[in-house]
Structure 1
């Protein structure tokens, strides 16, 4: 039986690899992609980047403006995540198997979370551009909707992982619904909830760069502006600032996770 299990596993792996190669070949044929030319152009691309894509003295004079845009991007990401976390908590409590009231309300909460989670923030940006135009508000709501869907689902799973024994113990003592939530469920799951919020902040800072290109705001707009004007030295400085900011935020998030977990 064990030999049959491993044989079946090897067969499934072989079938998956064959299917992957077939899809790759079909994509190459449809797009007329020249594989050899693509790989041989990598050294030339690296040479061009080393020759042109680096900050110079003129680009460094734009550093204050770049820092200002980066600060705006970070603040919008944090604000959208924080507000989305509040709404996500309400929907997660209503839709959770542990704290949910069940029936139609739980179904609606889970359905809304699934809908918002499956629409990418870039798609939200393009949808909201029709209503709000190119503005910070468009980027804020795009990040908010994306964060809301993801955090609602993550919060539901975190709350459902809470041991039912403490909930049942409080119910046995006659504790009310809100007492159970605020005295048992939320305190038990708060470390996981905070960890998800920090993860969402990191993700939104990355997303905000792309959204800024679409909405004409923040650090993404500056990169698009410099790159399209062939100011590669300033564009490279924007990239460096983004990378440093993301690494810094990630380091802070990891430290906070170590403290709370």
Structure 2
């Protein structure tokens, strides 16, 4: 079979030219952006070492930080519960919407368009924006944080679940339909068992992601570990704020390791 390149050398030369063009374009975009926002690249980079020294000097927990451990662990536990509960509730609804919106399982075209539009709308609104919008209606409460995470997760998981279902081999569904299976039998016997592993992986990923986002949401809603971090930070208790950051990182790592083990068990 003939190709448009006469030799391997010409092929690699064309790839180098394309790569050089892309890199040059990115550099040009960066330079234009620097000029527009008046960003001082070299002076900013020169301040990085001093900033890191201040960070490690002030945010490292010390012997007095242990007195803050009780309230921090309590608020961290509440934040974890909100992250998990919002993800699970959103996942259940997302599964229903995904079945109705996927091309292989959707009853009609109208459901597909409605589900896709709704998922795109929900997931393209940042979780911070959701928190600020809901703050006016539900005030500063755990429920506000729950709803902010719920709506963002609902859009994200609906899109992910829909694409996962659409990637499923359609021959199995056709075989079930050929033997007389109805719509619900096709979904529960032919679709869900095949995609259960992938859907579980998405849910576990969103729990990890929502734990990180819940910290930022808590600053806005005045609840959870985010509020406590903001309280300590504004009170110049940087050692306690540093302990919060450290514990969040440890908890996220533990969740990731647990998720990995669960994925391996259901694979």
**Does residue 1:67 correspond to 2:89, yes or no?**
no
**Does residue 1:219 correspond to 2:216, yes or no?**
no
User: Residue 101 of structure 1: which of 90, 107, 128 is its match?
Assistant: 107
1:133-164 deviations in whole A, cap 9, x for unaligned? 22111111110011101100111111112221
Q: Which residues of 2 match residues 66-215 of structure 1 at below 5 A?
A: 66-215=72-221
User: Residue 238 of structure 2: which of 213, 232, 237 is its match?
Assistant: 232
Structure 2 unaligned residues grouped into runs of 5+: none
1:109-144 deviations in whole A, cap 9, x for unaligned? 111111112111111111111211221111111100
CA distance in 2, matches of 1:5, 1:124: 49
CA distance in 2, matches of 1:114, 1:12: 33
Deviation (angstroms), 1:57: 2.5
Instruction: State the TM-score, normalized to the length of structure 2.
Output: 0.93
CA distance in 1, matches of 2:147, 2:31: 40
CA distance in 1, matches of 2:26, 2:139: 41
1:83-107 deviations in whole A, cap 9, x for unaligned? 0001101110001111111221221
Segment drifting more, 163-172 vs 34-43: 34-43
**Matched pairs, number:** 261
Q: Which residues of 2 match residues 14-33 of structure 1 at below 5 A?
A: 14-33=20-39
Segment drifting more, 220-229 vs 22-31: 22-31
Instruction: State the TM-score, normalized to the length of structure 1.
Output: 0.96
Deviation (angstroms), 1:27: 2.2
CA distance in 1, matches of 2:213, 2:203: 15
Structure 1 unaligned residues grouped into runs of 5+: none
